[in-house]
Amino acid sequence: MKLAIVGVTGMVGGEILKVLDDFIVDIDEFYPVASERSAGKTIFFREKEHKILNLSQALEKEIDIVIFSAGSTISLEWAPKFAAKGIYVVDNSSAWRMSADIKLIVPEVNISLLNPEDKIIANPNCSTIQLAVVLFPLHKLYELKRVIVSTYQSVTGSGFKGSKQLMEEENGQVASNPAYPHQIYHNCIPQGGAFLDNLYTEEEEKLINEIRKIFNLSELAITSTVVRVPVLGGHSESVNIEFYEKPDLKEINSTLADSMGIVIQDTPSKNLYPMPLNVTGRNETFVGRIRYDNSNNKAINLWIVADNLRKGAATNAVQIAQYIADNFID
């Protein structure tokens, strides 16, 4: 595989390099790509020095797959240029997620939808990915009727800017370039992105629309609340799931335990449940606090945690790239 990473110097770009090693991905040629500011500098990857290219330079190279992690503006302009050359583009931004002719892929759920003609493939939002991984086996088991999710999203979901704000405030400084409209240190902010006319935020609307698209359930009853919390890494979600029939908790547990990419941590007697502190650097999605909804005999509650830079971005993208390499590239 001849692989390029656009945005290699960013937070997600750095994680992609680590995940490539985790998955022992075979790479014949590697092209790091970043902004004009970083072009010409070098990075080390797999004990070799690589010169960082700008986008124009990368477009001239013979590349099989390019992973974009540089924001939607860059993706909208450049992804079609790479795709026009027959290069597969795995895009981490929001640019293409809701485009009708672009597949929105979570490998554990719907990667079988991909075919060789799909040159641009969208990576869902971080909070969407971990939710989809858990909902999918449960949907196959009982069929989803309604989903209520509240997310507790770490500041790394806002990139270096969010992390810097938290660290500056923690050190008693006024944030020099704040990512949020309020102090995040010692605080929780019930807002993810700008508010829309329907009083939901952009992050909430993304989660709702993306889950419906991934599951091909345009009428799924799903609602969300996004909260930004003073945590450096790892998104958490409190989820209430209603089915069309009464679920069996033992069957729920065994199904999740047997599902790809899921780790159950659920021993209340030992205070064992997933926490952001313990998932850093992990590629799996963690589930705990699995219990019946005592107000609805066809519903359950559970708690989901994943490293948002890993499974929520880098890991998911690398899994897609690996599938493309295995199935579509000679």
Give the residue numbers marked as catalytic. 126, 235
Instruction: State which amino acid sits at residue 66.
Output: V
Cα 270 from Cα 311, distance rounded (Å): 27
What angle, rounded to 10 degrees, do the helices at 315-328 and 11-22 form?
50
Helices then strands, counting H and E runs in the chain, come out as: 10, 14
CA distance 317 to 25: 12
175 Cβ contact partners less than 8 Å away, ≥ 6 residues apart: 164, 165, 168, 169, 183
Q: What is the sign, positive or negative, of the torsion defined by CA atoms of 263, 268, 274, 277?
A: negative
Q: Where are the beta strands (DSSP E) in 34-106?
A: 42-45, 48-51, 65-68, 88-91, 103-104
Q: What's 311's DSSP letter? A: I
CA 216, 222, 225, 228 torsion: positive or negative?
negative
